[in-house]
Structure 1
Amino acid sequence: MRIPHLLVFIAFSISAQNKPLEIKIDYINSQDSSEFLDREFTIIYHIENLTNREVSFFLNTKSLIPSTFSSMQYKPTYLLFQENNPTEVSQLITPRRSPARFIGSTQKAQTELRNINNDSIKLEIQKWKADSLYFWKKKNKDLLKAIFTLKPKEIKQFTYKLYWNKIRYTKNEDLEYYLDEKSIYSLQIGLTLLKKEYGDRLYPTELKAILDNPNFIEGYFSSNKVEINFKE
């Protein structure tokens, strides 16, 4: 299930009324790296419980992902705007530096990284062969670990880094886009908080407890938009 950006944007706006949560970007710093030939963005944002009661929801704040990949995810997402128009190219900035742009990277290092990834996949498959419910149990465990709780009026702040390899042109299937140096770009963070949609990842008793809890919230929330520096 993929929620179109326009629908998500409208839902964010509607949910702003009488919302129990506020998500706000405090600032975005940028720093160029001569070593990696990229630009590092440090994003500081916070989530605040606006109510006088404790609230809980599913959210993994260790990651920040493009809104294009937000389907059934319980992670904060980011969306880029050119002037005031949402774009489909949030993948221009990523949570990882590109090894190909790293001056000191070698073919050997990249091969070793691929081998590590392949070994991890093989280990997961072995666990699944030993237990047919292995992947379901893993999803269940990860989801329960992602239960996030805020006390009344509590504020929690987070820091996250994204990287731009300074390449302005991108093409994804039929979509072509050029990052215009003369335009003003901004970034917005969104929270898509779901409950019953994760029913297939929970035991019936766990799902019932969550659905029966009035303090376990769901909804769509968006932050302010803060300018992000793509200029030379």
Structure 2
Amino acid sequence: MRILYYYLLLLSLPISAQIELKIDAISSKDSIPTERKFTIQYHIENLTDKEVVFSLYPTSFGSNRRASMFKGMVYKIFQDQEFLDLEDIFSNTKVNSYRQALLEAKTKEEKDVLVRKYLEEQKRINLDSKSIIDENELLLEKGKNFSKSIITLLPKEKRSYSKTLIWNKSRYYKLEDNEFYLDENKPHYFELTINLMKEYFKDYVEVNEYQEILNNPSYIKGWFTSNKVEIDFKD
């Protein structure tokens, strides 16, 4: 009976040794007095002797509050050992660059070009060639975008990534009834998590192909969490 108990216990444990998600380094630089840039260097490594496949946008970052169905990297911030359940505290570098370009634009025509370019990049659609996008076209674009998220790692393969995040040096945050303060006198830590789900493929493949994916052990699923690395929110 005891042997059976331990066997069932092992079956219930998550298979978390398939891949490693690790933060290699976090560096910071104050570009302007009110802004600090963090460069996050991290990698995903296949720890097995077999090929693994999953869907992930590895350079798309979001806070833990949107983790449930987010297909990118989910980050957590800790103050000492306390987890701070914050909304996004980092601004988007691409959005910032467009915002700065808009401020520097001298004419309405220049601003219109920038706005159009930004919308095209966000929607992955050429607005000049399509005045009206039908539903089939949108589904096609959505499928193309999803195909870019499929990552195949060969046995023992490691892929390294880098992401720049910008903090505007705000310390006080209020979210609903909760208040948070980034204490400049306490250490802070940064952690990454990814939620890999086979179910992501359901809307993009045929029914029989989706069933094959569900039954294929090469397509992995599960929560994977990185190490914690100190991040500099000090003055």
- How far residue 76 of structure 1 moved from its aligned partner, in angstroms, is 1.5
Amino acid at match of 1:81: F
* In the alignment, structure 1 residue 21 sits paired with structure 2 residue 24: no
- How far residue 182 of structure 1 moved from its aligned partner, in angstroms, is 1.5
Aligned residue number for residue 194 of structure 1: 197
Aligned residue number for residue 37 of structure 1: 34
Aligned residue number for residue 77 of structure 2: 80
Change (3 A) 1:37 1:104: farther
Aligned residue number for residue 163 of structure 2: 160
Amino acid at match of 1:176: E
- How far residue 117 of structure 1 moved from its aligned partner, in angstroms, is 4.8
Equivalences for residues 67-216 of structure 1 within 5 A: 67-96=64-93, 99=96, 106=103, 112=111, 113-114=114-115, 117=118, 129-216=132-219
SS at match of 1:76: strand
1:97–1:163 CA contact under 8 A, matched in 2: no
Unaligned ranges ≥5, structure 2: 1-12
What TM-score, normalized to structure 2?
0.77
Sequence identity of aligned pairs in percent?
35
Change (3 A) 1:128 1:188: farther
Point out the more displaced range, 162-171 or 137-146.
137-146
- How far residue 154 of structure 1 moved from its aligned partner, in angstroms, is 1.1
Distance 1:33 1:92 in 2: 17
Change (3 A) 1:82 1:23: same
Point out the more displaced range, 172-181 or 54-63.
172-181
- How far residue 83 of structure 1 moved from its aligned partner, in angstroms, is 1.3
SS at match of 2:59: coil
2:37–2:165 CA contact under 8 A, matched in 1: yes
2:75–2:191 CA contact under 8 A, matched in 1: yes
Equivalences for residues 36-75 of structure 1 within 5 A: 37-75=34-72
What TM-score, normalized to structure 1?
0.78
1:127–1:134 CA contact under 8 A, matched in 2: no
State the structure with more CA Rg: 2
* Corresponding pairs, count: 216
- How far residue 115 of structure 1 moved from its aligned partner, in angstroms, is 6.0
Distance 2:204 2:38 in 1: 34
Point out the more displaced range, 205-214 or 189-198.
205-214
- How far residue 123 of structure 1 moved from its aligned partner, in angstroms, is 6.4
- How far residue 48 of structure 1 moved from its aligned partner, in angstroms, is 1.0
SS at match of 1:137: helix
1:98–1:165 CA contact under 8 A, matched in 2: no
* C-alpha RMSD over aligned residues: 3.3
Change (3 A) 1:73 1:119: closer
- How far residue 132 of structure 1 moved from its aligned partner, in angstroms, is 2.0
Point out the more displaced range, 180-189 or 222-231.
180-189
Point out the more displaced range, 201-210 or 54-63.
201-210
